[in-house]
Every structure is written in C-alpha cells, then in structure tokens.
C-alpha cells in the first residue's frame, strides 16, 4: 500500500501559470521534504518541515512556496513556472528510522 | 557541512558482485540510506543503516559502514540485469534533520 502519495503523477502547466503539487502520507511522520530532480541528477532539497516548523534551503527560488496544513498533507506551490522548472518533484517523509518517497510528479511547462 | 559523494558509473557482468561506494562529511549523520531509481520512476528505498552499526545484510544486499572514515558501501551479490539503475546514497543529518543525497551511481549490468 502506498504510504507517500503524490498527485498528480504528471502535470502540464503553462509558462507563468501557478501550479500546485500535492503530497499526502499515511505514516504520521513529522518530517516532510520536497525535492526537485532533473534528469539523471541527484534530488535537490527545496525545503523541509519538522512538524509545522518550515525550513527553506538558501538557494530555493522565491517562486517556490510550500504549505503544510496538517501532519498528513504538504503542498508545493510554484507561483510562476518557467521552462527551467520542468522536472520531477519528489515528496518524502522521515520518521521511525526510515525515509520514504512518493512516486513523484513530473512537471512539464509549455 | 553536509556533502555526500559517489562515483558516477559502474559496469559489471551479470552474476558478478557490484560494490557501490559513498563518502559523506557530516559527522552528525544518524541514518544512511541506499535508494534505487529506474528510468522515469521514483526513488525506491533499498536499505538503510543506523550510524552505530558496521554492517547490515538483506538478501543479496550488504551495507558496510566505516564511521571513522565516513565511508558507506553497497554490495549487490549475483548482480542481475534488473539491477541496472541509478543508486543514490543519502544521509540524514543529526544536526539539521535534512536528507541529503549523493550524485548517484549508474550501475550498468552486461549480460
């Protein structure tokens, strides 16, 4: 059974049109992460939450925002997607000694 | 700081053992992980090891941790063509709680 679920699996958005990616977890983990992964590269950490405590990476563009309304859900908002934001976006959780990833959302910007 | 390094490519013949190496710099690392990623797919957790362990074995996988040298390795016994993928080493920093990845090692298995 999937424990970290990302929706949608594939998202196409227009240049400059805001888009939201969602992530939910059934593990009750208190840490959640958002990563951006471009082809054949390592996942790049954008931000992470420890409970409601938000931690932004210094090099994460302001164009990327996140919300965590409760333990189970976390959202990634891209305010004005550019062509360079096309990537796989991965959500992960950690707790109980393990880190789990969702299947990712592949974002295409047209 | 937090930095994780891996060699980028490894090629082996089917049936041989593969050893993928990783080094890290964060002495506060608590857990270290190996993930597998096949083309177009998400990250699959293969195994993990706690920082006070030296070794962990799980079927064909053996993880060795040398905490003094901050060196982690993943050995895959009897490597199969289905093992061809990118393997990422990752660590959780005890100081920041961040999950940090190496660059990934592409494993090519030749028949």
Q: Model confidence over B21-68: pLDDT tens digits? A: 999 988 787 889 999 999 888 888 899 998 888 999 999 999 999 999
CA neighbours closer than 13 Å in the CB half-sphere of residue A4: 26
Number of helical H runs and strand E runs in chain A: 0, 11
**Which residues of chain A have a CB within 8 Å of the CB of B33?**
98-99
pLDDT of residue B1: 60
- Listed in sequence order, the residues at least 6 apart from A15 whose beta carbon sits closer than 8 Å to its beta carbon are A81, A82, A83, A109, A110
In angstroms, rounded to a whole number, what is the distance separating the alpha carbons of residues B99 and B89? 10
**A43/B101 CB distance under 8 A:** yes
State the pLDDT at residue B29: 78
Q: For residue A104, what is the DSSP state? A: -
CB contact under 8 A, B43 and A43: yes
How would residue A70 be classed by pLDDT, with cut points 50, 70 and 90?
very high
Backbone angles phi, psi at A85, to 5 degrees: -90, -5
Query: Residue A99: which of B45, B96, B104 has the nearest Cβ?
Result: B45
Alpha-carbon span A49 to B30, nearest angstrom: 18
Strands A105-109 and A87-95: antiparallel
pLDDT digits (tens, 9 = 90+) for B55-69: 999 999 999 999 999
Q: Collapsing DSSP states into helix, strand and coil, what is residue A7?
A: strand
Q: Exposed, middle or buried: residue A16 (CB in 10 Å: 0-12, 13-18, 19+)?
A: exposed
Reported as half-sphere exposure (CB side, CA atoms, 13 A), residue B100 has a value of 23
**Which among A43, A48, A88 has CB closest to B97?**
A48
Whose tokens are 């895959």? That residue is B76
> Residue A63: its pLDDT value, please?
95
Query: What pLDDT score was predicted for residue A97?
Result: 67
Q: Which residue of A has its CA nearest to B51?
A: A97
Q: How far is B39 from chain A (nearest CA, A)?
A: 9
Percent of chain A residues topping a pLDDT of 90: 83
């Amino acid at each position: 059974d999937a424990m970290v679920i990302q929706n949608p699996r594939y998202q196409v958005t227009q240049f400059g049109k805001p888009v939201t990616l969602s992530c939910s977890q059934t593990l009750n983990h208190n840490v959640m992460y958002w990563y951006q992964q471009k082809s054949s590269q390592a996942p790049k950490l954008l931000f992470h939450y420890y409970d409601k405590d938000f931690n932004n990476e210094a090099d994460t563009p302001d164009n990327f925002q996140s919300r965590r309304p409760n333990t189970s859900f976390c959202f990634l908002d891209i305010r004005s997607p550019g062509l360079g934001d096309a990537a796989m976006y991965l959500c992960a959780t950690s707790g109980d000694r393990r880190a789990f990833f969702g299947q990712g959302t592949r974002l295409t910007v047209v | 700081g937090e930095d994780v390094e891996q060699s980028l490519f490894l090629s082996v013949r089917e049936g041989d053992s593969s050893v993928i190496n990783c080094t890290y710099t964060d002495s506060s690392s608590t857990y270290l992980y190996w993930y597998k990623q096949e083309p177009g797919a998400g990250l699959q957790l293969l195994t993990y090891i706690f920082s006070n362990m030296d070794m962990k074995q799980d079927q064909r996988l053996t993880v060795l941790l040398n905490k003094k040298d901050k060196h982690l390795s993943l050995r895959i016994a009897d490597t199969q063509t289905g093992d061809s993928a990118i393997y990422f080493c990752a660590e959780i920093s005890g100081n920041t709680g961040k999950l940090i990845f190496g660059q990934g090692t592409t494993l090519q298995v030749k028949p």
